[in-house]
Structure 1
Amino acid sequence: MMQTTLDTLPSGAKARIIGFAHGGGWLYRLYQMGFTPGAIIEVVANYGKGPLIVRIMGAEVAVGRGIARRILVQPL
């Protein structure tokens, strides 16, 4: 099972969330938006700097690069 972080995925890639590196208050907010282990996400835009735009549960959400580095995913 190959594992990487969300910030490394190119635009158009799909992945399954497998966990999170480090905890914190941001984790609860991600859970509220649907970022839970097992959820499938699609990277809509990743330009290599600035926030990533991802589609999760039918909604497009902007995720800061620092947070994206802490989201562990398995590319599909």
Structure 2
Amino acid sequence: MTWTPLTPKRRTTCWSGSGRCREAVRDRSLEETFSHPRYGPMSLRWIMCHMCSEYDRHNGHADLLRERIDGRTGS
């Protein structure tokens, strides 16, 4: 597996997605609820907390993989 640097085009693609997310929730309350066809009603607060925990979980997985590759631990 090789590391691919984040080119300007890839950076723009990555950050444009987060910009669209910020725009979508800009004027919404964290208490606002949405209905998901499979999971039912959920608040924007729950969605944001869930996304943060998923982000943390995937960062943890990346740390474990990196540690297995190069043996470094910590930061």
What TM-score comes out, normalization by structure 1 length?
Answer: 0.24
Q: Identify, as 1 or 2, the structure richer in helix.
A: 2
What TM-score comes out, normalization by structure 2 length?
Answer: 0.24
- Decide which structure has the larger Cα Rg and report it: 2
Q: Identify, as 1 or 2, the structure richer in strand.
A: 1
